[in-house]
Amino acid sequence: MSYQLIDLVQRLENPHILVLGDLILDRYIWGDAERVSQEAPVILLRQDKQEIRLGGASNVANMLVGLEAKATLAGVVGHDFDGTCVRQELARVGVSTELVFTDPSRPTTVKERFIGRAQQRHPHQMLRVDREVRTPLDTVLEAQFLEQILPRIPEFDAVLISDYAKGVCTPRVLAAVIQAGRAAGVPVLVDPYPGEDYSNYRGATAVTPNRLETKRATGIEIKTTEQAFAAGAKLCEMLNLEYAYVTLDSDGIAFVRADGQAEMLPTRKREVYDITGAGDMVLAMIGVGLAAGCDPMDVGRIANVAGGLEVEQIGVVTISREEILNDLLLNSRKIEGKVYHRDDLARQVAARRKVGHKVVFTNGCFDLLHIGHVTYLQQAAREGDCLIVAINSDSSVRRLNKGPDRPIFAETDRAAMLAALEAVDYVVVFDEATPNSLLEQLRPDVLVKGGTYATHEIVGRDVVESYGGVVKPLTLVEGISTTRIVQGLRGEGPVPRPHLSLVTTDGENKSIKPLLGTERKAG
């Protein structure tokens, strides 16, 4: 599955997404909590640093830009200094603010946190002060808001609604935007407010409530997978959704379609440092995936990865596609999905290069997998970050005149055996006499070969060295080859026994005598 998700990330392109919702400015006041004040029984905080961060719908738009999408934000700020800060910060990160309105009747929503350090270490939040109004937009501004937004809905690849119940997401605004999205064939995804009445989201493509929000909306407490599926199905039915993503923190995401299909999308265990921003990250990642036309279930799997990377960070930070690719690549060594068509493999290699991985390539028939193969493949894997094994097709093996009954195993079987080795990341079959065309397409960093080959004898050396790659012979297991094993099994000679010769870092050959039979030491 990891390999499919890697392909998905490679296909995301750069969609244009509208984010509609409540804009929030997060301000952090840092300082040393020195002592108790003489004026009152409160801690005295001596400020030494102040920072601002985007919150609410602003943060979702910021995360979209981090995921290489184009983001346009629709919302409201006050006619105040904080509103100016929000606009400036959005401009700095590259979010379009042409649909951000100023409302002189309300302040910009601000969450101000005071963070104190005891003895100049161990920072803890001491106090949070919120400045906001929660009244809905007045009808005049609401009409102006919709007049500007609705004609532009068809321009976008997706619409994300981030509702924090601060007054922007009025019933009229939500109904009009959702209807316009449906009419234009644009997916509308909603991260709902933590309330009980979700009726204003009726007709959206999907919603992304967390465990507690889902309980409030459906009355179903989620402690089991079945309960999560039941709650998701109820959301789909209540709101006429196409599907629901019920986010379940460390348990992953319960994905439920309107037709009743349901799947639990688990997430791997991570070190959780800060859950702030994880919901916004999941919304942004699902939005990018749906905008790109990807399968909604696979999009949920990618959102799991993105949300997991977010909780590993301290504070709200953007997560890049490269970070997601790297996480997938580092956790993708599974038998399933290792055998690739050459064009699909080229996309995988491109993903590796994006995150700075060193690609190693080797090739051969690999008929009758033996200790010689395993030894040098293990060594080959240590030459870089991933190992590609290219095997000759059945017809190619026959053209190499290996013998009338070769290959013994079909190419599908040989590929499956190699894929089962932990050292191997990818397997690809080629039909030509040499791997040269494959090398030209994949351009690996290192070409390796096991056996008795000298560097100048390795086929493909000219191709790899032409673009600056390295060619390297590896471990020799003396006396072992598939041909000799086959001859021994036919009775045409002794079945060879391995004599391992390792090439040390100083170039010296050292033999290792195998411990067989009576030669094995006790203990």
Q: Which amino acid is at 369?
A: L
Q: What does DSSP assign to residue 212?
A: H
To the nearest 10°, report the CA torsion of 8, 11, 15, 17: 0
Q: Is 273 helix (H, G, I), strand (E, B) or coil?
A: coil
The Cα–Cα gap between 169 and 175 comes to 10
Pinpoint the alpha helices (H) of 96-170: 139-149
- Exposed e or buried b per residue across 261-274, where buried means at least 16 C-beta atoms within 10 angstroms of its C-beta: ebbbbebeeeeeee
Q: Of 447, 427, 425, 430, whose CA–CA distance to 360 is shortest?
A: 447
Q: How many CB atoms lie within 10 A of CB 359?
A: 22
Residue 392 region, left (φ>0) first, then alpha (ψ -120 to 50), else beta?
A: beta
The Cα–Cα gap between 303 and 281 comes to 8
Instruction: Name residue, tokens 């960093």.
Output: 445
Contacts of 379 (CB under 8 A, 6+ apart): 448, 450, 474, 475
| CA-angle at 139, arms to 136 and 141, nearest 5° | 85
Number of H helices, E strands in the chain: 17, 22
Q: Of 113, 121, 116, 129, whose CA–CA distance to 47 is shortest?
A: 116
Residues present in the chain in total: 523
Which one of the listed residues 157, 280, 367, 445 is annotated catalytic? 280
* Burial category of 99 from C-beta neighbours within 10 Å (exposed 0-12, middle 13-18, buried 19 and up): middle
Contact 326, 9 (CB under 8 A): no
Q: Of 218, 167, 172, whose CA–CA distance to 57 is shortest?
A: 167
Instruction: Name residue, tokens 């036919």.
Output: 490
The Cα–Cα gap between 486 and 155 comes to 65
Q: What does DSSP assign to residue 210?
A: B
The Cα–Cα gap between 283 and 126 comes to 29
The Cα–Cα gap between 335 and 108 comes to 53
Q: Is 427 helix (H, G, I), strand (E, B) or coil?
A: strand
Residue 279 region, left (φ>0) first, then alpha (ψ -120 to 50), else beta?
A: alpha
Residue 494 main-chain phi, psi, to 5 deg: -70, 150
* 431 is an active site residue: no
Contacts of 349 (CB under 8 A, 6+ apart): 359, 388, 442, 443, 444
As annotated, the active-site residues are: 280
